Structure 1
Amino acid sequence: MDTEAQSMERDRSCRPPDAGSDEMPDARGRQGRSRSSFPARLADRLPGGRITLSALLCLALLLALNAFVAQPFQIPSGSMEPGLRIGDRVLVNKLAYRFGAGPRRGDVVVFDGAGYFGDSDYVKRVVGVGGDHVVCCDKEDRIEVNGRSVDESTFLHPGDRPSAVPFDVVVPEGTLFLLGDHRDDSSDSRDR
């Protein structure tokens, strides 16, 4: 038996392309022009290449998340103390009320106060929704919603009354009656 290496012809379809060639074998081993993907072509045109493209895609994803899914806010005032203090940060779920569910009594919401309270975002607690009859205050100095007293002791600022100003409101459909937890330091639906 001859153990010396025998000359064998190699299958040239599996040979890697020349370094300078843009010919690539296809799935069947045939030679043809390479088709680089759109992201690869884009990365080749950007300064910094793939790193810049990755950074731009991350930025676009963050902007989309911020616009449609969740947005961070910083608490600007003491109107929601003691639960939320000045400088605290909250992440607002923008999808919470998009699919048919609406704000419920007790929810804490962030809203644009332009046209109502001023030119900034506000954080308040929902006390009444459209159609609710909200009254302050009952014989025990508690807010009443639709004839039922509301226990606000878990979030109302210590030492604050439910409201120093009496009110008797039927909340218009499509609107909310909002109050801050620190009632003595809050601009809210009582001021409208």
Structure 2
Amino acid sequence: MGDQATGGAGPGLGSAEASDPAAATTPGKARTKRRMPFWQEAPVLVVVALALALLIKTFLVQAFVIPSGSMMNTLGIGNRVVVDKLTPHLGSGPSRGEVVVFHDPSDWLGDEPAQKSSGNPAVRGVRSALGWIGLLPSPDEKDLIKRVIAVGGDTVSCQGTGPVYVNGKPLDEPYLYPGATPCGDRNFGPLTVPAGSIWVMGDHRNDSRDSRYHMDEPGGGSVPVDKVIGRAMVVVWPVGSWKTLPIPDTFARTGIGSHPAGTP
């Protein structure tokens, strides 16, 4: 008789289970862990989502809006493009034929306007916040988008009605805006692109203030590679304009060369 513990937990049950009537009546059943209330869980999920969005914007991809007609008809005003930012982080320089987004190297946007923000302060604030984390193109971005024509060490020129020559080879440029000439209204070269730089031109040569218009500045109109944000890969908006942006075949011609920017 003395071996029986009156009011005890019984064989195999600890004091915690003994104090829970439900556990006591169902030996061996695992207790369900209480879930965090939604009002507490939601802010955590929002913070995690924003952190991931910011991480993606910083190192992987980012959306940009096209503010001008300098890349028509490849890119129209108001088009949204997704830019690959990972490749530059891995040390791969821009290649000829790529469409790239880059920071304004020396007040080029004094010639070509950037995107304008909405006049509504509330809308502008929301757009700025979403642009900062990469969910929308930044409404106050001061970046440009052009096509890489030549890279560091290349010789590039264009006279009269063209064509553009890279390392002595003429380019076939079917992407040019209808009616635009390869040289536009600016003859140049032959000149050598400095190492670590790129020579850029818009596809609408008659409406693009690109490398041709900045030859009297440091660098001779070339853009330093460290100013490049990334390569535009695809047009995502508007839906009817969706398309990829591959490198045109003319840049793969034998004799033009294959070295990336910065490796003459």
Q: Is the 8 A contact 2:182 2:205 kept in 1?
A: yes
Query: 1:97: how far off?
Result: 2.2
- Give 3-state SS (helix, strand or coil) of 1:85's partner: coil
Structure 1 range deviating more: 79-88 or 119-128: 119-128
Tell me the TM-score normalized by structure 2. Answer: 0.55
Query: 1:16: how far off?
Result: 4.1
Structure-2 separation of matches of 1:18 and 1:151: 84
The counterpart of 1:106, out of the listed 73, 97, 107, is 97
The counterpart of 1:128, out of the listed 150, 158, 173, is 150
Query: Which structure has the larger Rg over C-alpha atoms?
Result: 1
Structure-2 separation of matches of 1:103 and 1:14: 68
Cα distance change of structure 1 residues 48 and 143 upon mapping to structure 2, 3 Å threshold: same
Query: 1:69: how far off?
Result: 1.2
Q: Is the 8 A contact 2:59 2:89 kept in 1?
A: no
1:157 aligns with 2:148: no
Structure-1 separation of matches of 2:205 and 2:18: 75
Structure-2 separation of matches of 1:10 and 1:173: 81
Query: 1:3 is matched with which residue?
Result: none
Query: 1:85: how far off?
Result: 0.4
Percent of aligned positions with the same letter in both sequences? 39
Structure-1 separation of matches of 2:168 and 2:72: 27
1:170 aligns with 2:192: yes
1:96 aligns with 2:87: yes
Tell me the TM-score normalized by structure 1. Answer: 0.75
1:30-87: per-residue Cα shift (whole Å, max 9, x none)?
xxxxxx9xxx9xx78xx93111101111111111111121111000101111011000
Superposed CA RMSD in Å reads 2.7
Structure-2 separation of matches of 1:14 and 1:161: 88
Structure-2 separation of matches of 1:66 and 1:14: 52
Q: Which has the higher contact order (CA 8 A, sep 6+)?
A: 2
1:7-43: per-residue Cα shift (whole Å, max 9, x none)?
xx45214964757xxxxxxxxx9xxxxxx9xxx9xx7
Query: 1:11 is matched with which residue?
Result: 12
Q: Is the 8 A contact 2:66 2:77 kept in 1?
A: yes
Query: 2:162 is matched with which residue?
Result: 141
User: Relative to total residues, which structure has the larger helix share, 1 or 2?
Assistant: 2
Query: 2:64 is matched with which residue?
Result: 73
Cα distance change of structure 1 residues 12 and 188 upon mapping to structure 2, 3 Å threshold: same
Runs of 4+ in 1 over 6 A off after TM superposition: none
Q: Is the 8 A contact 1:80 1:182 kept in 2?
A: yes
Query: 1:5 is matched with which residue?
Result: none
Unaligned 5+ runs, structure 2: 1-9, 21-27, 111-141, 215-264
Number of residue pairs aligned between Structure 1 and Structure 2: 160
